[in-house]
Structure 1
Amino acid sequence: MSFPIIIMAGGKSTRMGREKPVLKIAGREMLLWVYGTASRIGETIVALSKNTPKTKELCIHEGIPFVETPGKGYVEDVRWLLEEFGPFISSSADIPFVKPSDFYAVKKAFEGRTSLTGVLPLQKIPKDLNPLMYQGYAIVGLNAVGVDGERFFELENPLLALNVNTPQELKLAGRIARLVKGSGESEEPQ
């Protein structure tokens, strides 16, 4: 069974102070980094809300499919999306260095019932990052939303720990993108 990938891009961006999905990293909107990777894996939809009008404009301009959620909060929007679409793979719009292999790993492990919360073991977290920690893991913005229970799912990509929430993290993402680009890899994360 194939589950859609839904990119969560409807938050208020209170720590950043501006609408995050349209902020540029190495000259390209953060949402386009994530969408470019996700859309290579399968059906991908952007979930936005009244909180993200510039993101809606970007989606319209780029021809990216989107849905507007009620915008009452992350948990409420996830519940609404689950009712509308059934089980799905969820990605934050602010994890620009997500790779196809990350999506494939979640897709392979997800059977549609038990939700998967993407995590990284502490030893995989680059020292300059300060991710959300819970029960000895870093919680990352790549998950699967099911209908019955939840379990942690360990991922391998250490750059998933960079969830771009602050101006400092945006600058760090820009430096990382330039390093990746300078190493001969494409600008878009692989």
Structure 2
Amino acid sequence: MLALILAGGEGSRLRLGEKALVMVHERPMIAWVLDAFCAADCEPVVVTSYKTPFTRNWCRANGVAYLDTAGAGYVEDLTEAVEACGVEGPLFTSAADIPCLTRDIICRIRANHEESGLPACSAWVPVSRCEAFGMQPRYREMVCGVAATPCAVNILTGSLIGSVQEEYCLLLDEPGLAFNINTREELAVLEREFDSVRKHV
């Protein structure tokens, strides 16, 4: 399955340059995400823009497939990338700033999507899991009776990319999904907790 990894934003809140290339445990953040999708037998393509020339160059230097978009915004770039790839069926979409994503999590999302029979599937993590690490989610919604926040990894149907897709909301109480890195404080927490979180993978 194709996996579009969105890496075309400026990462202005983090203020450490292009966010996808910020180092986490001595590797660019995006490298962890790419590894997870490759391990899950997906075909990752990094979505870049004029705002992320170094990420584009990193992809080129490391033999990673990439697609350059206009950099108009997350949704706009995603739509442009899906249309450019010409995928009609299901595909993964993911942010580049979730370095604790794993093969098992990806496979669980895919299995639940297939079982649901719906066009889309969104993954959520309990807010309490995030708060246990001192993370403060910016968005929350009730999922299966639990206050949850989106994990920035989803499945969509390509042919329906221009419309609202009925989705299955999957709640995953996974420690690693608490880490969606947007600030230096969140990055510091991740570095401190990285080994213990990965130990449970």
Contact 1:126 1:158 in 2 (8 A): no
Residue 28 of structure 1 corresponds to 27
Q: TM-score, normalised by structure 1?
A: 0.86
Q: Name the CA distance, whole Å, in 2 between partners of 1:31 and 1:72.
A: 21
Deviation at 1:175, TM superposition (A): 1.5
Q: Secondary structure at the match of 2:56?
A: helix
RMSD: 2.1
Deviation at 1:4, TM superposition (A): 0.6
1:168 aligns with 2:167: no
Post-superposition Cα deviations, 1:162-181, rounded to whole Å, max 9, x if no partner, equal 11111111112221224457
Q: Name the CA distance, whole Å, in 1 between partners of 2:180 and 2:197.
A: 17
* CA gap 1:171/1:51 in 2 versus in 1, 3 angstroms: same
Contact 1:30 1:94 in 2 (8 A): yes
* CA gap 1:49/1:113 in 2 versus in 1, 3 angstroms: farther
Find the partner of 1:125 among 130, 139, 143: 130
For structure 1, the 5+ residue unaligned runs are none
Name the amino acid aligned to 1:26.
H
Deviation at 1:149, TM superposition (A): 2.5
Name the amino acid aligned to 2:184.
P
Name the amino acid aligned to 1:101.
D
Post-superposition Cα deviations, 1:5-61, rounded to whole Å, max 9, x if no partner, equal 111111121211221111101111111111111111121111111111111111111
For structure 2, the 5+ residue unaligned runs are 142-146
Residue identity (%): 27
Contact 1:37 1:99 in 2 (8 A): yes
Q: Name the CA distance, whole Å, in 1 between partners of 2:120 and 2:69.
A: 20
Residue 114 of structure 1 corresponds to 119
Residue 6 of structure 1 corresponds to 4
Residue 54 of structure 1 corresponds to 54
